[in-house]
Structures are given as structure tokens and as C-alpha cells.
Amino acid sequence: MRIFHGLIAAMLIAVSSMAGEIKVAVAANVQSAFDDLIKAFNKDYPDIKVLPTFGPSGAFATQIKNGAPFDLFLSADTKFPTELYDGGFAVSKPVVYAQGAIVLFSTKGLDLSKGLEILKDPKVVKISIANPNTAPYGRASVEALKNAKVYDAIEKKIVQAENIGQVVAQVVAAADIGFPAKSSFASGKNEYKEGVNWVNVDPALYTPIAQGIIIVKASEKNADAKKFYDFILGEKSKKIFTDFGYLVK
């Protein structure tokens, strides 16, 4: 009986050792789509566990430089992953997996049809954007405000969220209006309605938000990481990203 139990234990250990694990640093704007991405990936690779950490891309770049044990990095831009590649921290140059967009969002009954001009309204006291120093979507928000010639008039109203994923929560809790990622709404998985609670920001007002993926150099020989990398750039992921309001090629 002891031999039998020993064989069972050995088999369980063997099966456990076969199960892969991938640690992925993921830009906050991708969080709403990531569960769907993992589910689709696990249909093909049920034994590979994907462990995402969500946050600002600039912070992840710093962490990876300092040895954080990530296998992949899905950034909100190509700037930070390019810096990592140039510094020898990535296997290859970043490849664009999706192009993001920003929207104007409010739960305060504001007339969003006025576009960015609504920000000058005296009723708008707090405007939430992601930190432009660490969040590419925050940079795009500031760029749009400046190109629309409203930044100087509303600069003092701006409050910063740590990352783009926190902008929605900040608007719901305290701010009057904000600039989150379109991916927060385009899937139709929440109660906020286009034209009522959110509208697109004219994409001509900001540089296209091309989002890049890299394999971290320390994981160059991680076959499971390469499988997820290829999946993110594949057709199944493109369909999911499109459903969440991203542009993909």
C-alpha cells in the first residue's frame, strides 16, 4: 500500500512539474480584456498558468530593470519596452499587439457632446487623468488637451491617478470627468453608455497609442512565455482586442 501511495505521489509531482507558469506585467488599460485573453489561451494550453500583474507601464519598466521576475511585458506604449530592449533587458524589439484610445467619461450628467470644451464649464472642478510620467494614456490625455487649446484653461483642475485603470474609479468616486481607456467601456460589460457617460476623444488630437509586447531577456528560453507571446500576436487575441475597442492589424 505504501508503494502504491508512493507511486501516486510521484505521479502528482510529475504532473505538477509539467504545468507551466508565466508571470506577465500588463499595462492597466488591458485589465478589462485580460480575463478573456487568458480563457482563450487556456483553451489551447490548459496546463499553463498565466499570472498577470496590472499597473503603469513606466513603473514596470523600472521594475524589470531592477530584476523583477516577469516573463513578458505588455506595455501601453512602445517607448518603455524599446528602452528595455536597448538596455539589454528584452529578447527583441517590441511588437505592437494593439492600438488603444482615450475617451471622455463622466457620471455627473454633463453634456459630453460639447467635447473637450465641457472641461471649461464651472461645474467641472476635478478632471482625472493617469499620471503622464508613468502612464502612456496619461501622456495622450495631456497631448489631446494641449492640441485642443484647452490645457492652460483647465490645468489647475487636473488630478492624477496612478494609472489609467484607476481613472474610472476616481471619476465615479470624486472627480467630475476624466480620460480613461476606451477598453474600459467598449466591451459592453458595464452600465456606462456611449454618448451618455462616455464619448471618444478625437484621435487626431493625440499620437496613436501603439502598445508593444516583449519577452524579458531572463525568460528567453521559457517556451511557455513564447507560447503566450505568440498567442497575444495571433488571430484569437486580435478578435478579443477588437471587441474591447482596440485597433489591431
Give the tens place of pLDDT for each residue, 92-116. Answer: 999 999 999 999 999 999 999 999 9
Query: Does position 17 have pLDDT exceeding 70, yes or no?
Result: no
Angle between helices 235-243 and 31-44 in degrees, nearest 10:
150
Do residue 238 and residue 121 come from a single domain? Answer: no
Query: Does position 10 have pLDDT exceeding 50, yes or no?
Result: no
- Sequence length of the chain is 249
Q: What is the DSSP letter of 51?
A: E
Give the tens place of pLDDT for each residue, 142-193. Answer: 999 999 999 999 999 999 998 888 999 999 999 999 999 999 887 666 789 9
Phi and psi at 27, nearest 5°, equal -55, 140
| Mean predicted confidence (pLDDT) in 115-132 | 97
Residue 235 lies in a domain: yes
Which pTM does this prediction carry? 0.83
Q: Which residues contact 193 (CB under 8 A, 6 or more apart)?
A: none
CB atoms within 10 A of CB 233: 15
Q: How many CA atoms lie within 13 A of 106 on its CB side?
A: 23
Q: What is the CATH number of the domain that holds 79?
A: 3.40.190.10
Give the tens place of pLDDT for each residue, 48-74. Answer: 999 999 999 999 999 999 999 999 999
Residue 197 lies in a domain: yes
How many structural domains is the chain composed of?
2
Cα separation, 244 vs 183, in Å, equals: 5
- Domain span at residue 149 reads 103-205
> Is the distance from CB of 22 to CB of 224 less than 8 angstroms?
yes
CB atoms within 10 A of CB 234: 14
Do residue 79 and residue 133 come from a single domain? Answer: no
